[in-house]
């Protein structure tokens, strides 16, 4: 609808909260994210955030170390709640109104996720942090991000990573790898590019969800992405 506020779903990996340490929560890193989020939502952008838990524990890693996969994924979902509470605290220290909603009930810490309630919070200008993934094992937080983006009718999904977008090869292994400015979902599938896991990617394509993959660790990138400015790689059904 013309004139309607821009509604964005931001996916953050848990690793970006860890800073240089690579694990745990770094106050400086989370403070910088909060500062950029504050600047990026000026003007009325409605923002939901799905956050990962890899800086604390990742379900697949825990399973590889001997834990049952469902148990490992439950541990990972709880890790996302820790990150969500930390991000909420950083945002509220900047005067922003927030709500944490979880797919696993823990009412003493956060609201249970209910789609209509989440949309109402967004309409009231609150930043909604969506934790605990989908609430089910075997699904990644990428899948949770696409699912929540579709549910809340987000106009775009922003995926903040540690690389500058989508490349034809892993840029960490090949410094000559080429970054795409724009890319179709089908081209990414045909080239087997690592954008998101296939469940998340297919769901995004089926619902024609615009996706922007960008490096959230570069100062200013998050502000630009939230404002709709060109950054990273834009993925769509048609380009």
pLDDT digits (tens, 9 = 90+) for 150-160: 999 999 999 99
What is the structure's pLDDT at 141?
Answer: 95
Q: Does some domain include residue 14? A: yes
Number of domains within the chain: 1
53 within 8 A of 141, measured Cβ to Cβ: yes
What is the structure's pLDDT at 203?
Answer: 95
Domain hosting residue 30, numbered range: 7-236
∠ CA 40-219-37, rounded to 5°: 25
Mean pLDDT, the chain, rounded, equals 93
Q: Does some domain include residue 219? A: yes
Q: Does some domain include residue 2? A: no
14 within 8 A of 162, measured Cβ to Cβ: no
Q: Does some domain include residue 184? A: yes
pLDDT in tens, 87-106: 999 999 999 999 999 999 99
Give the residue, 130 or 69, on which the prediction is more confident. Answer: 130
- For residue 101, the surrounding DSSP H or E stretch is strand 98-102
What is the structure's pLDDT at 3?
Answer: 58
What is the structure's pLDDT at 1?
Answer: 45
Q: Does some domain include residue 1? A: no
> Residue 48 above 60 pLDDT?
yes
> Residue 63 above 80 pLDDT?
no
Per cent of the chain over pLDDT 90 is 79
pLDDT in tens, 158-213: 999 999 999 998 888 888 899 999 999 999 988 888 889 889 999 999 999 999 99
pLDDT in tens, 116-132: 999 999 999 999 999 99
Q: Does some domain include residue 91? A: yes
> Which CATH number characterizes residue 26's domain?
3.40.1160.10
pLDDT confidence band for 4 (50 / 70 / 90): low
Q: Does some domain include residue 11? A: yes
> Residue 16 above 80 pLDDT?
yes
Mean pLDDT of 18-29: 90
Q: What residue has token string 């990617």?
A: 201
Q: Does some domain include residue 222? A: yes
Going by C-alpha positions, the residue among 111, 102, 56, 105 that lies closest to residue 83 is: 56
């Amino acid at each position: 609808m013309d004139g309607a506020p821009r509604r964005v779903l931001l996916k953050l990996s848990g690793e970006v909260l860890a800073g240089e340490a690579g694990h745990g929560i770094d106050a400086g890193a989370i403070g910088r994210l909060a500062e950029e989020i504050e600047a990026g939502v000026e003007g009325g952008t409605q923002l939901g955030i799905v956050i990962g838990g890899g800086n604390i524990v990742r379900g697949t890693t825990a399973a590889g170390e001997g834990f049952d996969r469902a148990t490992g994924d439950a541990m990972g979902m709880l890790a996302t709640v820790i990150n969500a509470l930390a991000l909420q605290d950083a945002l509220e220290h900047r005067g922003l109104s927030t709500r944490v909603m979880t797919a696993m009930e823990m009412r003493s810490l956060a609201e249970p996720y209910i789609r209509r309630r989440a949309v109402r919070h967004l309409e009231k200008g609150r930043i909604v942090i969506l934790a605990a993934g989908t609430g089910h094992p075997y699904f990644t937080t990428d899948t949770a991000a696409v699912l929540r983006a579709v549910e809340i009718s987000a106009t775009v999904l922003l995926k903040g990573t540690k690389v500058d977008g989508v490349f034809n090869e892993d840029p960490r292994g090949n410094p000559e790898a080429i970054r795409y400015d724009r890319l179709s979902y089908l081209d990414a599938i045909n080239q087997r590019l690592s954008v998101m896991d296939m469940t998340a990617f297919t769901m995004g394509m089926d619902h024609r969800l615009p996706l922007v993959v960008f490096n959230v660790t570069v100062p200013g990138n998050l502000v630009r992405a939230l404002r709709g400015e060109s950054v990273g790689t834009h993925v769509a059904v048609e380009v």
